[in-house]
């Protein structure tokens, strides 16, 4: 599960669901530790959080979280196309869209927000950012 705090656990497989406030808190905490983040725009409407994390070279991370369905999406966007991502939905569960084939879906184990941000940093290095 990585460096996640107690608020991450519900989202990553336990029966108690994570709420929007805990998701945003953990996300902002993880992003604050990342030196590649230029700025963050995060909106919350009811039980949904969405936004963008602006990155170097005109790239951004699109973020979506729905408290009711626990749907979670992190998509790295470059030139209007996803180049990498990690998602969780009720149909496929947790899956990765790898850099080499971002349209594909590879099943993964539940992953913490901190580990997603860490992996994003590794992907940016791989892309030369």
**What is the DSSP code string of 81-121?**
EEEEEEEEETTTEEEEE-TT-TTS-EE-----HHHHHHHHH
| pLDDT of amino acid 44 | 97
pTM of the model: 0.85
| Count of domains observed in the chain | 1
> CB under 8 Å to 34, separation ≥6 — which residues?
117, 120, 121
Percent of the chain with pLDDT over 90: 82
The answer as to whether 1 is a domain residue is: no
| pLDDT of amino acid 52 | 98
Q: Which residue range is the domain that position 16 belongs to?
A: 9-126
| pLDDT of amino acid 16 | 60
The answer as to whether 21 is a domain residue is: yes
The answer as to whether 93 is a domain residue is: yes
What is the spatial distance between Cα 97 and Cα 110, in angstroms, rounded to a whole number? 14
pLDDT for 13 beyond 70: no
Q: Each residue of 23-68: pLDDT tens digit?
A: 999 999 999 999 999 999 999 999 999 999 999 999 999 999 999 9
Q: Each residue of 77-92: pLDDT tens digit?
A: 999 999 999 999 989 8
What is the spatial distance between Cα 53 and Cα 31, in angstroms, rounded to a whole number? 9
- Whole-number mean pLDDT of the chain? 89
What is the spatial distance between Cα 86 and Cα 107, in angstroms, rounded to a whole number? 10
What is the spatial distance between Cα 15 and Cα 11, in angstroms, rounded to a whole number? 9
The answer as to whether 40 is a domain residue is: yes
The answer as to whether 3 is a domain residue is: no
What is the spatial distance between Cα 85 and Cα 119, in angstroms, rounded to a whole number? 10
């Amino acid at each position: 599960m990585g460096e996640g705090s107690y608020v991450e656990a519900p989202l990553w497989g336990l029966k108690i669901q994570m709420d929007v406030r805990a998701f945003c808190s953990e996300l902002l905490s993880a992003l604050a530790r990342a030196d590649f983040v230029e700025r963050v725009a995060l909106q919350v409407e009811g039980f949904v959080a969405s936004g963008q994390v602006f990155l170097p070279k005109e790239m951004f991370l699109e973020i979506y979280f729905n408290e009711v369905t626990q749907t979670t999406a992190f998509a790295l966007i470059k030139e209007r196309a996803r180049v990498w991502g990690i998602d969780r939905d009720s149909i496929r569960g947790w899956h990765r869209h790898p850099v080499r084939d971002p349209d594909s879906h590879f099943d993964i184990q539940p992953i913490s927000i901190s580990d997603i941000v860490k992996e994003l940093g590794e992907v940016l290095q791989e892309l030369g950012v």
